[in-house]
Amino acid sequence: MADFKVNILGCGSATPSLRHLPSCQVVDHRDKLMMVDCGEGAQLAMRRMRLKYSRLNNIFISHLHGDHCLGLPGLLSTMALHDIEGSVTVHTFEEGAELFLRIMNFFCRERTYELKFNIIRPENAIIYEDKSLTVETFPLYHRVPCVGYIFREKPKLRHINREMVDFYRVPVSMLHSIKEGADYELPDGTTIANERLTTPAEPSRSYAYCSDTIYSPRVAEAVKGVDIIYHEATYADAQADKARQRGHSTAGEAAKIALEAGAKKLIIGHYSKSYNDETQHLADARSIFPETIAANEGLTVDIT
């Protein structure tokens, strides 16, 4: 089973439709769940995808438009009803922290977990870190302050070459430092290069979430080298003028970002309710970046 994947809970835009829910995703990294945006219907979508509330400890909000955050009070209240323990951290702008804390203190004072807020800004910064992953913000260009997120694995340890380690009688106490890249010195002073004792580590993987934004080369630069990119594609290319007026991107512009960033795969979403399907979005994007897939509720993508 993949240990790094993204679950699409909602990929519609401002108005919910019978086809799509507002924006919401859950990144699963080694069984640790991290939500990105929390539109209406998020908690029900979690149930449908069998994602456990008890494994969700961080929620990252890209900006303070309702279709990206109005599901948050309901989700947090339900987590309290389920007696979730520990802490839940919401990463959001200062105005969002003040607003959601007031709402939660009114409707859900008796929480079983500690509710925390981490204040973000539209800047390039690492805002979360654990032993194997970092989460970075970068600015997006919408009608209100907005950020994208990069989920980036830390460099992994090299693999021990058991035959060579046994041959040189390397002590067990040295194995971790050798995995980290250290050489080994024999009792006679001879240095055994790390490359003889190990094989290369698995490559670190990365995923970028580009929420609402107009097309900008600065976005491509911010996500350069990321393996898989999700980028909003509210409109097909024929409505490029409307996209720019409303602070959004077209499918072709999303594909251009992926191409310029050197991504391996692009996921498009945040579709306007004016479309009956995403056929034209996919055609526009794949004409520029063939490795494009269309988000849909219930879709799970392995970050490989």
Residues noted as catalytic: 67
Beta bridge partners of 38: 24
Other residues' Cβ atoms within 10 Å of the Cβ of residue 197: 25
3 state DSSP class of 172:
helix
Other residues' Cβ atoms within 10 Å of the Cβ of residue 31: 9
- Tokens 């804390």, residue? 101
Whole-angstrom Cα distance, residue 304 to residue 122?
Answer: 28
- Tokens 């996209």, residue? 243
Which amino acid type is present at position 206? S
Whole-angstrom Cα distance, residue 108 to residue 111?
Answer: 6
3 state DSSP class of 51:
coil
Phi, psi at 58, each rounded to 5°: -135, 135
What single DSSP character describes residue 2? -
